[in-house]
Amino acid sequence: MEALKSVGEKLVWFAVLVVLGMESFPRTGGEPGTQAGGETNVVSCEFPAEVVSLLRKQGHMIVGRHSTVKTCHWTRKAILTGDKCYKHKFYGIESHRCLQMSPATNFCTHACIYCWRPVEYTQGGDMPPDVDPPELIVEKSIEAQKKLLCGYKGIQYRLDPRVLREALEPRHVAISLAGEPTTYPYIGELIAEYGRRGFTTFLVTNGTRPRVLNNLEHEPTQLYLSLEAPTPELHKKINRPREPGTWEKIQESLELLKSFSCPTVLRITLVRGYNLGDELIPGFSRLVEKASPTYVEAKAYMYLGYSRLRLTREAMPSHGEVLRFAERLAQGTGYRIKDESKTSRVVQLAG
């Protein structure tokens, strides 16, 4: 029955992709140096036409040649109902003033099985040097956020006028929307430019560019490193790296976290059937000890977007499972459970 359900779900999603004009959507990530389908990868920082169409249908606003902005679910909820993202509860981020963006939407060194983005169309490797300057990306991303939110003016009689006014003047940026931000060659300058505009900055990385992290001239307000696997074998299975040596590079980045003066976070996305087992706790504990982050977040994989072509709903852990994992990790590391959000299925640990 479960196999039939899985097949049925994928048939439904195939029908959706046909409607979207993406019936040729590939089912696995391309090998390093190739496009999906095995063609030689001619690296360009600009989006292919089919990716532009897909991103727009998903609600992205394209900024310049290779960056995008998309309004976060929690930004919309904060404007409409006053509900807040767990990052407000954990770190004080004002959800209605948060701008979610990426300067490298179509570039990533991983093709993670749990990612809600269409990673099968993402290019591997670093971006070419001919990219948009940070000043342009920052200016245009702020403009894009205002355009994406301007429709709320039509129902402002239902909204808190202060919240709407502040939402149109964002003050926090999550550099995390899609792709791997550290493949953008001026990521430090981008962080600095947002800072000059009065923004706080969260940078989320998969850790495969330790050289970039080591040479970062301007630190973000907070640095996230995604960590889903305690072994090279699981790393290959879950993260599906697009280039050799990524496991070793992640180990370098973990060692580097201690050198940052800003708060650091290890975020573990938990996928049932992949990385929830008790036997993995010692391995995760060793990596937490190596990185010594300010916080650890254990968060459930969410059955959303294009991950539904790779996983079934049963891969999504309950909050109770996430909490039990966090409790075992706390025992193995000496960290303590500091906070949790049942709605987002996430538990925060602090050292």
- DSSP letters, 32-87, are TTB-TTS-B----SSPPHHHHHHHHHTT-EEETTTEEE---HHHHHHHHT----HH
Q: Identify which has the larger pLDDT, 306 or 289.
A: 289
Within the chain, strands assigned E span 61-63, 67-69, 98-102, 172-175, 200-205, 222-226, 264-270, 295-300, 336-341, 346-350
Tens-place pLDDT, residues 55-74 = 888 788 899 999 999 999 89
Predicted pLDDT of residue 169: 93
- Chain centroid offset of residue 28 CA: 19
Q: What is the mean pLDDT of the chain?
A: 87
Question: What pLDDT was estimated at residue 55?
Answer: 82
Average the pLDDT over 81-108 and give the result: 93
pLDDT given for residue 6 in this prediction: 47
Domains and CATH numbers, the chain: 2-350 (3.20.20.70)
Which tens digits make up the pLDDT trace of 213-264?
A: 999 999 999 999 999 999 999 999 999 999 999 999 999 999 999 999 999 9
pLDDT per position as a tens digit, 110-143 = 999 999 888 888 888 889 888 999 999 999 999 9
* Residues linked to residue 63 through DSSP beta bridges, in sequence order: 67
- Asked which of 5-19, 233-247, 254-268, 302-316 is least confident by mean pLDDT, the reply is 5-19
Helix (H) or strand (E) holding 329: helix 319-333
Q: What is the mean pLDDT of residues 304-326?
A: 95
